[in-house]
Amino acid sequence: MSAQQINIYDLFSLDRSLPGEAISVEIARQDHQLESAGVAETDERRRRLVIAFGIFSDDNRRRIYDEALIVGRELSWDDLESLAEFGELPETPSAAASTPDYGYPFAYPTSPTVEPPTAMPYVAPFAASPNLGAIEGVAVDRPTAGKRLLLFICDLVVAGITSSIIFGAFRVDEYSFFGYLFGGIAMIAYFIGFEVWMGGTPAKQLAGYQIRDIATGQKPSIEQAAKRNWWRLVSLVPILGSLVSFVALIILGSSINAGSGYLGAHDRWAGLEVVKKNGR
């Protein structure tokens, strides 16, 4: 089958009016749904989601794709994969491999009696191996969801004690609206502040872990830390915000597993990872 124009927006029901960050979150959500349903990383559907994530998570790559879409350039998935990985399209579009058309999305049959074609192995940029980092393939040790939950609880205790001391010093009623707002801001400042300043909260630091850019190994920027902690930011909205934050905590926690390389959906969106210091 020759190259054709591939409209990722239509293929994955994406709203093109949204910024790339919001679209990337939706793509990650769809990938997580397939992962939860037991779909392997080597499945062509997940490979295409990975490619889409690589394009829309970067404004320049998205611009290049949108321009190609506007002029009607015919591209194969291999061409789009090149854009996702290297930030540019090949000068000559490559022909897509011939795939049987069963009349279903992604060219996959739904009947259990028909075997789908076997996809070539593909390593997802936001679902790396639990033991391999993105920095020149250096082996890393990422904590499991259980360990991260334990460290999170420890941080909550430390942040809670600190907030209580501040409440007492300024005689703030923690059950008032001002107290609720102040406590929420203090909690967010605790997590984002330590991640940007020290590369990790006190509990993670004491346990020997750090939060770093998965591509460069540097400490998070303020923007990256805010992305990673978006579910904490929404907690500032009275009543509804706390509910959304709690549900998000459960969903994000479940996305930290061996299949995702112990990278949560919020880690992948921010381009960050929690890892033993010095890759130990």
- CA R_g for the chain: 21
pLDDT value at residue 108: 42
Which helix (H) or strand (E) segment holds residue 274: the answer is: strand 272-276
Identify which of 28, 5, 34 has the alpha carbon closest to the alpha carbon of residue 265: 28
Dump the DSSP string for 169-226: HTT--TTSHHHHHHHHHHHHHHHHHHHHHHSS-HHHHHTTEEEEETTT-PPPPHHHHH
Cβ-contact 25, 271 below 8 angstroms? no
Cβ-contact 201, 163 below 8 angstroms? no
The tokens of 8 are what? 């990722």
CA end-to-end span of the chain: 46
Pairs from 17-25 (Cβ < 8 Å, separation ≥ 24): 20/56, 20/57, 20/58, 20/59, 20/62, 21/57, 21/227, 21/269, 23/56, 24/53, 24/56, 24/57, 24/269, 25/265, 25/269
Which helix (H) or strand (E) segment holds residue 32: the answer is: helix 20-36
**Each residue of 221-236: b (16+ CB within 10 Å) or e?**
eeebbbbbbbbbbebb
Q: How far is CA 109 from CA 96, 105, 112, in A?
A: 19, 8, 8
pLDDT in tens, the chain (280 residues): 345 778 999 999 998 888 887 888 888 888 888 888 888 888 999 999 999 998 998 889 999 999 988 888 888 899 899 898 888 888 765 554 444 443 444 444 444 444 444 444 444 444 444 444 444 445 578 999 999 999 999 999 998 898 888 877 877 777 787 777 888 898 899 999 999 999 999 999 999 999 999 888 899 999 999 999 999 899 888 888 889 999 998 999 999 988 788 899 999 999 999 999 864 4
Q: Is 64 left (phi over 0), alpha (psi -120 to 50) or beta?
A: alpha
Output phi, psi for 235, to 5 deg. -65, -15
Q: How far is CA 268 from CA 4, 132, 174, 262, in A?
A: 30, 15, 34, 10
Cβ-contact 94, 226 below 8 angstroms? no
DSSP-derived secondary structure letter, 132: B
CA 87, 89, 91, 94 torsion-angle sign: positive
Which helix (H) or strand (E) segment holds residue 30: the answer is: helix 20-36
pLDDT value at residue 215: 84
Residue type, 52: A
Cβ-contact 166, 178 below 8 angstroms? no
